[in-house]
Structure 1
Amino acid sequence: MPKSKIIKELVNDEISLEKALHRVIVLAKDLKDFKLEQWAKNEIRGYSNPEEIPEYRRVNFIFIGSYIGGGLKYNDAPLPMEFLKQLSPEEQKNITTYKMKESLGFLKLSIEKNEKLGRPVTPENMQLFSVGTNTEILLARGEINLPEIIAIVNEVKTRVLDILCELEDKFGCLDDMDISNGSDTIKEEARQKINQIIICDTYNNMEIGDGNTIKKSNFLSKLFKK
């Protein structure tokens, strides 16, 4: 049974996830665990380095818009995705999914407001959805369903709890926020276990080129660029 107050408070939603992450930063400094410290800061501030974004922040990206096809006009409808047939399964994944770089606070605010995240597709990229079809794309946007954002926040909370429980197991009660007196051996064991919790594989982004040519790039990153 956890005895540290911070663990009980986080489980019972008595403190915010951001506050728990700030406490993790303090503990990481005592542990001299730069990876843990950086992970906690990234979750609070958002990820500035795409290569550091964990796999659990990958969400499905849905393209919606208006287009004319077969003499009919479709509004707020899923866009044709015939161009995906030109791509390998891995490339398809990189086009239809997106790694969220936004801060935890931004994601939580979107949940509170019950807002879908998304942005318009730029005119130069809209033509892509016409590839292999007899359609004229009028408007296009990308959307991320809210349950996927909720899943990211829940995953971060679970990992914070796993980290705190690991630290409590190695160093005892965390209420004093001081684990500096632990032996080097115990600290190294904790660092290794914690790194297993926070480290995830990453995927290369993709980009869409001019016309009907598809090449490696960061189309979705451009789509979300402010």
Structure 2
Amino acid sequence: MSLLRGIQSALIDGQPLGPILLKLRFLASRLGSDVLEDWVKHESEGYPSNVAVPDYRKLPVSYVGTFSGAFGSGVRNAPIPPYLIAKFAGEHWNTREIREGISSIDELARSAKESGTLYVNAANLILLLQGNIYEDYACNSVTGQLSKSLMAEIQNIVRARVLELTIQIEKNLPTASDIVLGPPKAEPGEKEKKAVTQITNQIVHGNYTSISNTGQGAQFNLHINSNDAASVAKELEAAGITPDDAQAISKIFASEAPESREEPFGRNAKSWIAKNLSKAVDGTWKVGVSVATQILSEAALRYYGFK
């Protein structure tokens, strides 16, 4: 049985994700896709702090607090609205990025199932919320909780995306079905590498649609908010630009105005792109030159509010 068909069979049979991801990582290396290989590596071993996690690994956190007042009065296990958490502590407290590897997530989901709750360390919120929730009541404790069902859902999403990846790879690259364990029969070409990378970006990150076959160029759907440099960096990184470069160009966007809608770059941005576009040629960026140019243009248009 081929490696790809073996992965599909294991998924359908409900086998554990750990060994399946190992097979997929091997398949990714044979297909020459660093983007797919990196995703599988991070899902298996965990996401480092300098790597953005996919949206399905960002879970909402709910909080309850205990408050005490005069003459022994108080409120126990009172829900704290997300609006107040964001207002007094910051929006980032309302979301928890799950960076653990898939095996650790399995343990966390099992722990949550047994205890009924998965807790988040929220001790620092006591000071941030002090005096801001109930007037004349002291905040004694805050407890953060994650949904056990959403924790388990991460596994289901990864399983579904691995299956969808193998299906789309099989459709677009029929020769992938011939890959087996053992010495490779042939090295993948650049066309095949780009196809696998594009499929991975679509299915895992959902950051842009496929390049059209009509000669009209690429169609993108970058999730970038106007004047939100963080979203620019996140989407460019997901598209295949290195984290440092994604951060650099996003800061340049924030520091200057564009010339026009037709020329959505300022002077510094144009200079930076001219110096760095070669990284799309030498493989530093996991995206081709023409696509990288279109992605950067689309990112600028959305950041400056032209789209």
Aligned-residue identity in percent: 20
Tell me what 1:146 maps to.
Answer: 148
Relative to structure 1, the CA distance from residue 81 to residue 133 in structure 2 (aligned partners, 3 Å threshold; closer, same or farther) is farther
> TM-score normalised to the size of structure 1?
0.73
What is the CA–CA distance in structure 1 between the aligned matches of 2:195 and 2:107, rounded to whole Å? 36
Structure 1 gaps, min length 5: 206-226
What is the CA–CA distance in structure 2 between the aligned matches of 1:38 and 1:53, rounded to whole Å? 12
> What code does the residue aligned with 1:54 have?
P
On the 8 A contact 1:166/1:194 being kept in 2, the answer is no
Post-superposition shift, 1:81?
5.7
What SS is found at the alignment partner of 2:177?
Answer: coil
Tell me what 1:10 maps to.
Answer: 11
Relative to structure 1, the CA distance from residue 40 to residue 72 in structure 2 (aligned partners, 3 Å threshold; closer, same or farther) is same
Aligned partner (choices 103, 106, 109) of residue 104 of structure 2: 106
On the 8 A contact 1:31/1:191 being kept in 2, the answer is no
Tell me what 2:62 maps to.
Answer: 62
Q: Which has the higher contact order (CA 8 A, sep 6+)?
A: 1
On the 8 A contact 1:80/1:133 being kept in 2, the answer is no
Post-superposition shift, 1:68?
2.1
Post-superposition shift, 1:141?
1.8
Post-superposition shift, 1:167?
2.5
Relative to structure 1, the CA distance from residue 34 to residue 179 in structure 2 (aligned partners, 3 Å threshold; closer, same or farther) is farther
Q: Which is greater in Rg?
A: 2
What SS is found at the alignment partner of 1:52?
Answer: coil
Tell me what 1:221 maps to.
Answer: none
Post-superposition shift, 1:198?
2.0
> What code does the residue aligned with 1:199 have?
H
Tell me what 1:127 maps to.
Answer: 127
On the 8 A contact 2:67/2:140 being kept in 1, the answer is yes
Post-superposition shift, 1:175?
6.3
On the 8 A contact 1:30/1:179 being kept in 2, the answer is no
Post-superposition shift, 1:85?
7.0
Q: How many residues align?
A: 198
Relative to structure 1, the CA distance from residue 164 to residue 85 in structure 2 (aligned partners, 3 Å threshold; closer, same or farther) is closer
Post-superposition shift, 1:132?
5.0
What is the 5 A alignment of 1:183-202? 183-199=189-205
Tell me what 1:79 maps to.
Answer: 80
What SS is found at the alignment partner of 2:149?
Answer: helix
Relative to structure 1, the CA distance from residue 17 to residue 78 in structure 2 (aligned partners, 3 Å threshold; closer, same or farther) is same
Looking at secondary structure, tell me which structure has more strand per residue.
1
Looking at secondary structure, tell me which structure has more helix per residue.
2
What is the CA–CA distance in structure 1 between the aligned matches of 2:185 and 2:43, rounded to whole Å? 23
> TM-score normalised to the size of structure 2?
0.56
Post-superposition shift, 1:50?
4.6
